[in-house]
Structure 1
Amino acid sequence: MKPTNFLLAILLITTTSLVSQSIEVDSLHRPRNYHIQVNQFQGYPDSKQDIIFLGNSITAGTNWNELLGLPNARNRGISGDTTFGILERLDEVIEGDPSKVFILIGINDIARNYPDELIISNYEKIIRRIKKGCPNTEVFIQSILPVNNTFTRYKNHYNKDEHILAINKELKNLSKTNNVNFIDIHPHFLDEENRLSRKFTEEGLHLNALAYQTWAELLKPYLK
């Protein structure tokens, strides 16, 4: 290697290292009402027949027991939550020893620019803790839903499509490795431009009634 090329290589390595070191992850960030909702969840009675829906605002946005016609369906979604928030409150779910847990989390991690590998690492911790704490619980990992950047309300969440796809691919692999179920709901919500279809959303991120009805139909085979 010529001296100039060697110096250029060193410069590139140093620059890459500095860029990677400059990424700061606020693992302690929690939504404003996070602790209030966690306290509420802790006060609810548990049953081994419970079916838990665990996630962020996408999960929180419907009444799962009414949507699915299942009185034992429990909503454990918190708007704005991340994989770090799930890890912090996961004991509340584990202690209930539920029948099933359906997990959808990660879009807020992506919006906050958490590295993909960190999100996957947190997912693996979630899976392993559930399998260890309540081994009879059936775990379902759902792919992260698409967004639509033709809207303007949630700019931090838009234009992250490559990250959503990359994480979903790794979630499928992770589910297989850890012997849990993977449900790829992402493709069912796409338009012809591979964005969250306008028929499913009013602002490009959260879901409307039609979207939840579509989601419910996708889940029915796993609820028997």
Structure 2
Amino acid sequence: MMKRYVFLVVILTVTVGMAQNEIDTTYRPKTYPVQVRQFRTYPNDTSDIIFLGNSITARAHWNELLQIPKARNRGISGDTTFGILERLDEVTEGHPAKVFLLIGINDISRNFPDEIILQNYRKIIHRIQKESPETKIYIETILPVNALFEVYERHYHKDEHIIHINKELKKLARQTSVTLINIYPEFLDAQGRLDPDYTDEGLHLNENGYLKWADILKPYLVNIDKK
């Protein structure tokens, strides 16, 4: 049976200081609908390891990178925390063994307030715990960026937001009894930017970055069947 999906149009008005900023929570990448439909056609298994996020997640070939056949890539380039919430049922319906979540840099680039991003993180965690209680949740801190590359200007010069959200994610992990993986400091250079060794344009990881990320994740993937 073909499923129909209705995208709810919502504009949130939030007060930041003395100014009111309207944020468009309805933004979805152009590829979002077709990718979500594709994800829904794939078979689910309770041994699945889900990597959930945006383009930083989407660009990795997790099966090859980690040598885990059950690794499932659920990254969509350009996605936000609102997009994750909209498609989260596709993840929880399969009751996967683990979910690794990295999301938020596109929210920051679109000037979503930190408190809204953190509220969405809390909602994501709550829903996974409610809809798939046996799933182990791992939230990863948002990676740094490097403005010297001058490629993704909307994502640069907002380091204080990344740092603040990451600090609050640590608290949220403790409050919700999920595992936090603090990848942020592992990718910094001496100047506090995304290390050029791990990126070609200051936002996404290159092959060295993904190998570094894989090494960080491996301790959380012990006892996974790699046959």
* Residue 104 of structure 1: aligned partner: 102
* Residue 170 of structure 2: aligned partner: 172
* Residue 11 of structure 1: aligned partner: none
- C-alpha separation in 1, matches of 2:178 and 2:166: 14
- C-alpha separation in 1, matches of 2:152 and 2:94: 34
Superposition pairs for residues 51-130 of structure 1, below 5 Å? 51-130=49-128
In the alignment, structure 1 residue 150 sits paired with structure 2 residue 148: yes
- C-alpha separation in 2, matches of 1:133 and 1:175: 18
Higher strand proportion: 2
- C-alpha separation in 2, matches of 1:36 and 1:219: 29
For these two proteins, the number of residue pairs brought into alignment is 208
Deviation at 1:25, TM superposition (A): 1.0
Letter in 2 for 1:115: P
Query: Matched residue of 2:78: which SS?
Result: coil
Deviation at 1:16, TM superposition (A): 4.2
- Displaced runs of 4+ in structure 1, greater than 3 A? none
Higher helix proportion: 1
Letter in 2 for 1:30: R
- C-alpha separation in 1, matches of 2:171 and 2:122: 11
Query: Matched residue of 1:25: which SS?
Result: strand
Task: Give the alignment's TM-score, normalised by structure 1.
Answer: 0.91
Query: Matched residue of 1:156: which SS?
Result: helix
CA RMSD of aligned residues (A): 1.2
* Residue 11 of structure 2: aligned partner: none
Letter in 1 for 2:213: W
Identity %: 60
Deviation at 1:212, TM superposition (A): 0.3
